């Protein structure tokens, strides 16, 4: 009864199971169920769950909302390209545009306060990789993803695009300040 020959016993499915296998099945199944309920349980007790709130959008629609926020809450500009630094009030809707090959605008948030962060892409798929916090979210064109985010540490964060988006991909970095 080798693995390369037909089973010698025709009724192989009635063959008793060795204790080693039986014990391992029980242990492995238990572990699998623990992992499953851990994932469900984190939705109840955990504080890091990715929101599923999503709307269809278009580049024009999203850009208009972003620009309205920028016009209202810009506190200064940075870099040669004069990227606006926007400081929206806690609890408000915050828009972040991903496009070839930059994030727009720069955000300034308050530590411990929650914001509704809206993400979308103007063109290709992009990645929202917040460093060094290491939070990674996919940005898909045509979809506006709304995430409630609560910074828990002050500092300067970078938003690295970690979805390949063409030749300038490695220059696509944005910034978030938490004060």
Partner 1 sequence: MTQVQTTYRTCPRSGLQFERNAENLMKANAFVAVVWLLIGGLLAIGVVLTRWPAFRWLEADRFYQVLTAHGIDMLIFWIIFFEIAVLYFASSTLLRCRLATPKIAWLGFALMVIGSVTTNVAVYRGASSVMMTSYVPMMAEPAFYLGLILFAVGALVGCFVFFGTLVVAKRDKTYEGSVPLVTFGAITAAIIAVFTIASGAIILIPTWLMSMGVVKEVNALVYRTIWWAFGHSSQQINVAAHISVWYLVAAIAFGAKPMSERVSRTAFLLYILFLQLASAHHLLADPGLSTGWKVVNTSYFMYFAVLASMLHGLTIPGAMEVAQRQKGFTKGLFEWLRKAPWGNPTFSGVFIALIGFGFLGGISGVMMGTEQLNMIIHNTIYVPGHFHATVVIGTTLTFMALTYTLIPVLFRREMIAPKLAQWQPYLFGLSMYAFVLVMMGAGTLGVSRRHWDMAFQGSPLAYEWPGAAYLMMGMVGLTGVIAIVGGAIYIYVTVGSLLWGRKLEGGASAATFTAIPRTAPTVAAQTTGSMGFAAPGTFTLAMVFLLAFVLYYFINWKYLSTLWGLS
Interacting residues with partner 1 between 23 and 82 (CB under 8 A): 23-25, 27-29, 31-33, 35-36, 38-40, 42-43, 46-52, 54, 79-81
Contacting partner 1 (CB under 8 A), which of 88, 171, 177, 179? 171
Rounded least distance, CB 66 to partner 1, Å: 17
Q: Which is nearer to partner 1, 92 or 152 (CB)?
A: 152
Adjacent-strand bridge partners of 128: 137
Rounded least distance, CB 57 to partner 1, Å: 10
Q: Which tokens is 131 given?
A: 């460093």
Q: In sequence order, what DSSP letters do the residues of 5-43 get, joined into one string?
A: S--SSTTGGGSPPPHHHHHHHHHHHHHHHHHHHHHHHHH
CA-nearest of 89, 87, 132, 127 to 105 is: 87
Q: Choose the binding region for partner 1 from 13-21, 66-74, 91-99 (rule: CB under 8 A).
A: 13-21
107-166 binders of partner 1 (CB under 8 A)? 114, 119, 123-125, 127, 129-138, 140-145, 147-152, 158, 160-166
Contact 126, 40 (CB under 8 A): no
Q: CB neighbours (10 Å) of residue 175?
A: 17
């Amino acid at each position: 009864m080798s693995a390369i020959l037909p089973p010698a016993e025709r009724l192989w499915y009635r063959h008793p199971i060795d204790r080693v296998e039986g014990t391992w099945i029980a242990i492995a199944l238990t572990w699998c169920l623990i992992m499953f309920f851990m994932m469900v349980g984190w939705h109840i007790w955990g504080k890091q769950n990715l929101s599923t709130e999503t709307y269809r959008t278009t580049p024009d629609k999203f850009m208009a909302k972003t620009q309205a926020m920028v016009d209202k809450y810009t506190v200064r500009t940075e870099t040669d390209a004069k990227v606006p630094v926007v400081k929206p009030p806690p609890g408000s809707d915050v828009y972040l545009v991903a496009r070839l090959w930059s994030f727009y605008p720069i955000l300034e948030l308050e530590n411990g306060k929650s914001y509704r962060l809206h993400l979308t892409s103007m063109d290709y798929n992009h990645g929202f990789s917040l460093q060094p916090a290491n939070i990674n979210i996919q940005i898909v064109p045509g979809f506006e993803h709304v995430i409630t985010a609560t910074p828990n540490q002050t500092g300067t964060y970078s938003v690295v695009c970690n979805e390949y988006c063409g030749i300038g991909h490695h220059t696509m970095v944005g910034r978030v300040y938490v004060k």
